Amino acid sequence: MIAGNKPMDRSHWSNFYTVDSFRNRGANAVDILSEYLADSQARTRSHVLNSESPTDRLKYWKSRLNGDLGPVDGALLSEDFLAEVLQRSNHLHDPRYAGHQVAVPLPELAWIQAATALLNNGMAIDEMGPASGPMEEAVMQSIAQFMGFGEDSGGILTHGGTLANLTALLAARQRKSLGNAWRDGTNQKFALLVSDQAHYCVDRAARVMGWGREGVIQVPTDKAHRIIQSELVAAHEAALSKGFQVIAVVGNACTTSTGTFDDLEMLADFAESNELWFHVDGAHGAGQVFSKTHRGVLRGLDRADSVAMDFHKMLGIPALCTGLFYRKGSDAYAAFSQEAHYLYESEDEEWWNLSKRTFECTKRMLSVAVFGIWEAHGPRLWESLVDRLVDRAKVAAAEIERRPRWELFATPKSNILCFRLRDGDNAALRSRLIERGPYYIVKTVLDGQTWLRCTFQNPLTTDEDIFGLLDTLESMH
């Protein structure tokens, strides 16, 4: 009670701010989450992903909202709420998870997330991120230089690769177009060149900028899904002859479906000789820059004007957390320029007002986890993680090659692996696997055919888990 004030009304909101309750429930949550982690790592569940239909999942959550809502006696949230969220989620920490490309977070970072959720500094301007703002500036510069960029490089953190790619392409348009499209709008025909295997968000970014479907020129790829140089040259010439102003070439590092890396040196040469912006969509694979063993596929990365790299894919950081790096740090200011007198002192570059370079105004304190890891480990933790995850894909590939009924799409260069039974309905097989459990893998369509697809995200996945997955698939066929 504040001296001189009346006792506080124990209203709903005030219960949430009680320190003792926070402490007790926090201790309880630590126990529940630790138990969850232990169960996951011990492979105690029958299914990594429960096989309920989306409709049944919705029915359950709707049923909880039927009837009168709250209040719950003596509790801040329903007694079973956390347990049900845990139970009904996809269990990434189970070593038999090898599905979509989302980090299996380093558990320690859950406590950092809790701390930043509590602090909730909004990040848009210096005063709303007095610790995490300068941490972001410092750690992004440090990592940019580690990636091979020079001293005037830099970057920002953003909520996801989709937003990072759009932001980079906005900067590209402003730097490479003849007019000032950001200020004046434009009816010019802009275009970018990218492989026909790019993530859909590159196409989406171009359409958001008003370039339309023709503004994304999909360059044909070879059997391994790499851009074909002669096709790139031809596509560029064709675009120019049709009156397009080509702004950028985008390289994949790597493709989502198959984990294929474009030849970044070749793309850098091409961009340089044609005065194009060179952006690398390294959302998935740019993290391999931390590995001495697996960074060869990124040769040429340091010649990019901008690189998007998801910390929440190969690097163990909880989603969403993407680094957008610029070879020339000041290019970041080209993406947006906004008068906002309630926020900024001037229209100048002010590194300390981070939202001058990001789409987001308020964003989470993304830098804290990245800074904490980088300060404590430098590149070594991420190197060991990348090495382990890529090694998982290599072990699986070797085993698949040993088994005559299986076919491999390509030797893995990352932690992504596509494979299939030669004589089976691979889509049906995958559905049966999910229903049966415990493994979780996904599928994709390559050149009109369904392939099974694993992304090895969990460093605790053992060789035996991999052999068990293949044995189970074979036994079900």
Ligand X SMILES: Cc1ncc(COP(=O)(O)O)c(C=O)c1O
Site residues (CB under 6 A) for ligand X? 101, 160-162, 199, 201, 256, 281, 283-284, 310, 320, 322
At its nearest, how many Å lie between ligand X and the CB of residue 317? 11
Sheet holding 306-310, edge to edge: 154-158, 322-326, 306-310, 277-281, 245-252, 190-195, 216-219
Cβ distance to ligand X smaller for residue 157 or 271 = 157
At its nearest, how many Å lie between ligand X and the CB of residue 144? 19
At its nearest, how many Å lie between ligand X and the CB of residue 109? 17
Residue nearest to ligand X (CB): 161
Cβ distance to ligand X smaller for residue 128 or 156 = 156
Cβ distance to ligand X smaller for residue 312 or 430 = 312
At its nearest, how many Å lie between ligand X and the CB of residue 399? 25
Q: CA nearest 168: which of 235, 265, 250?
A: 250
At its nearest, how many Å lie between ligand X and the CB of residue 310? 5
Distant-in-sequence, close-in-space partners of 259: CB < 8 Å, separation ≥ 6? 284, 285, 393, 412, 413, 414, 415, 416, 417
Cβ distance to ligand X smaller for residue 91 or 199 = 199
Assigned token pair, 469: 């997955």
Q: CA nearest 459: which of 7, 41, 13, 34?
A: 41
- Burial class of residue 438, CB neighbours in 10 A (0-12, 13-18, 19+): buried
Pair type for strands 406-408 and 416-421: antiparallel
At its nearest, how many Å lie between ligand X and the CB of residue 321? 9
At its nearest, how many Å lie between ligand X and the CB of residue 99? 12
At its nearest, how many Å lie between ligand X and the CB of residue 157? 12
At its nearest, how many Å lie between ligand X and the CB of residue 286? 9
Distance of alpha carbon 34 from alpha carbon 86, whole angstroms: 12
Cβ distance to ligand X smaller for residue 221 or 256 = 256
Give the relative orientation of helices 367-377 and 108-119 as an angle to the nearest 10 degrees. Answer: 140
Cβ distance to ligand X smaller for residue 47 or 313 = 313
- Burial class of residue 8, CB neighbours in 10 A (0-12, 13-18, 19+): exposed
Cβ distance to ligand X smaller for residue 195 or 355 = 195
Q: Other C-beta atoms within 10 Å of 88: how many?
A: 12
Cβ distance to ligand X smaller for residue 148 or 160 = 160
Amino acid at 212: G
Assigned token pair, 93: 């920490």
250: which strand partners?
A: 194, 279
Cβ distance to ligand X smaller for residue 96 or 225 = 225
CA angle, 271 then 277 then 283, to 5° = 105
Assigned token pair, 282: 């390294």
